[in-house]
Chains A and B, each alone.
Chain A
């Protein structure tokens, strides 16, 4: 594994066992996260992005289960670790920031105590030193000193998210997985939070996987972007490449259907037909084919593979992949 890739996900599949059958929420997904980058994982609800995020930390319990794949984090396959070893990795090397911090912060513990206690759980440290480090972190993250003794419910949403980040930073996490961290925040608070993520990446060498359904957020802050649809990875590439020359019809449709606030943009939005599919009974072959304006007969029969179309720009679509049964010629994407 090359040194610049921090986390390499290979052929990951996650299944949910529900009353109505088994749902393959993540289907044979492979993804590389480079050191020091902000990777935006974007998709609609039900596409599997949150499931993927939790799977990266092996957080799934109960009805959800990783049924296939390898998780190569910093040279180790996390799938081979025991529960105890995995617990050490979580927190110390992998951090997570959730959408709703109210449910992940202990409501009966002051936030400063929460951080210092976490520090002391993972490394030997005196209470005084741990608290000191927590205070420094809070200051760095813009949490004013008079607020550090607050309980979570006394803080605003933006503040709580900063506390979550400090939890991850406190233990020198290498990778922070942020699952919809700004969805519940107002737009100005959100913008400042994204600024903070950028700064932390610069200052601490943090790698961030930013999971969101908001394309604008990804455009604002990410270096590379991965687009998921219905459990599959549809397209992965540098953010400018993907936004300038989207290859996958879903990405193309999505970019054209999202409102853009700048006045120079046209007033008409592309209307994508249909709705995201129910994963209990997903469409056959490529899961996007019922809604795809470029669908070919092969699309309903076989699922394509994630292939590099141009340099590091990967796409999961029969338009760009060769197959003996294809009726139409393969499209050559320009670089």
Chain B
């Protein structure tokens, strides 16, 4: 009697498994097709994935996105977002070649240039200051150029500009915004560079500047890097330590398990931020110490999740089957228990990063952990706190950034949870 053959699906015409067809399709197609299956969860994960990728990109190449370096004083202090800094600019006639103040320098024996300013505003003071600075540099230069402008004051802005157009003065230094308002009335004039600050600042500061003149937006971009470094590193360290401990404890279930669980539960019961504060206070301020402090905080989380899963998986029939095959304990842990426990860990990891970033920001908000030279959202929050009435943008945007990053990672974790552990699916 021949052994009854199980007819392979190819031979049964209409019974091809839809799962086989799906296996033939590429990964990308599968991602897109799954939109129909998972519905809103798919969008959840997709949107958060895009956000996460965006943040990671910002962290890797912040210089591409940040208009200014994060530590230089690039602009006026307390500039509101989007406001153009009202810098004093050089205005010359259209036929003049001068662009910046430096261009007005002339040889020592040439006549000194006249520069007009408006009466009653401190522009003259700034002009003198800048001219002196440039003069100092030029004094010892090879061409023997000097810059010692003679200042003429006018009653009104219009008069000042008129004098320029008439040729009475060689150049005029006025505040940029005021000038732009009436520049239309004068046809022969051209605006040059601001006389103070960095050359690139005519464009303005997207999110304003802080109390010492640093660009908030650039600090935000650069801050991503440290936030994600701390978030990822702390989570990875916690995972690398917590998962094996959890596996071991769950599998052996003896006195070792009890002892480990005791330790871990005590750590878990400790209010997180307090523990992190204690550790950083002891270890001292540095990025590495912050990572260690936060990692210690989260080891119990991984431990508990993995231990719980291991306890459950350990009772599964296929683990029993592995034992009946004659597999060794290490083999069972490695090939049967670990792969079935890992998906839950992956989900926790994502949410964990969000939490770690939050804790890291909290620590630096309190002034612990990070040295103040690093651009960090927590530090910015702390600094902005004093000026919340006057310069609200200093604290708002770092706060929003923290919120968005945490949201992105949390959403991704939640979305993945729904997809990997579905509550109610087809039969």
User: With an 8 A cutoff between CB atoms, is A280 at the interface?
Assistant: yes
User: With an 8 A cutoff between CB atoms, is B255 at the interface?
Assistant: no
In chain B, positions 10-33 with a C-beta closer than 8 Å to chain A are 12-18
Contact yes or no, B12 A281, CB < 8 A: no
Q: How far is the CB of A12 from chain B (nearest CB, A)?
A: 20
User: With an 8 A cutoff between CB atoms, is B4 at the interface?
Assistant: yes
Contact yes or no, B7 A274, CB < 8 A: yes
Q: What A residues does B16 contact at CB under 8 A?
A: 281
Number of A-B contacts (CB under 8 A): 46
Q: How far is the CB of A35 from chain B (nearest CB, A)?
A: 34
User: With an 8 A cutoff between CB atoms, is A264 at the interface?
Assistant: no
User: With an 8 A cutoff between CB atoms, is B426 at the interface?
Assistant: yes
What secondary structure prevails in chain A residues at the interface with B?
Answer: loop
Q: Which residue of B lies closest to A19 (CB)?
A: B37
- Given the contacts A271-B4, A274-B7, A18 and B426 also touching, CB distance less than 8 Å: yes
User: With an 8 A cutoff between CB atoms, is B328 at the interface?
Assistant: no
Q: How far is the CA of A282 from the CA of B13 in the complex (A)?
A: 10
Q: How far is the CB of B288 from chain A (nearest CB, A)?
A: 46
Q: How far is the CA of A16 from the CA of B334 in the complex (A)?
A: 39
Q: Which residue of B lies closest to A268 (CB)?
A: B1
User: With an 8 A cutoff between CB atoms, is B36 at the interface?
Assistant: yes
Contact yes or no, B7 A283, CB < 8 A: no
Q: How far is the CB of A285 from chain B (nearest CB, A)?
A: 9
Q: How far is the CB of B422 from chain A (nearest CB, A)?
A: 9
Q: What B residues does A253 contact at CB under 8 A?
A: none
Q: Which residue of B lies closest to A291 (CB)?
A: B12
- Max chain B Cβ within 10 angstroms of own Cβ: one of A18, A20, A63, A271: A20
Q: How far is the CB of A314 from chain B (nearest CB, A)?
A: 25
User: With an 8 A cutoff between CB atoms, is A273 at the interface?
Assistant: yes
Q: What A residues does B36 contact at CB under 8 A?
A: 19
Q: How far is the CA of A142 from the CA of B62 in the complex (A)?
A: 79
User: With an 8 A cutoff between CB atoms, is B425 at the interface?
Assistant: yes
Q: How far is the CA of A319 from the CA of B12 in the complex (A)?
A: 21
Q: Which residue of B lies closest to A63 (CB)?
A: B426
Can you list 19 contacts pairing A with B, beta carbon distance less than 8 Å? A18-B425, A18-B426, A19-B426, A20-B18, A20-B426, A21-B18, A63-B426, A271-B4, A274-B7, A274-B12, A277-B14, A278-B15, A278-B18, A280-B18, A281-B14, A281-B16, A283-B12, A284-B14, A290-B12
Given contacts A18-B425, A300-B14, 15 further A-B contacts (CB under 8 A): A18-B427, A19-B37, A20-B18, A20-B37, A20-B426, A21-B18, A23-B426, A46-B427, A274-B7, A274-B15, A278-B17, A281-B16, A281-B18, A282-B14, A283-B15
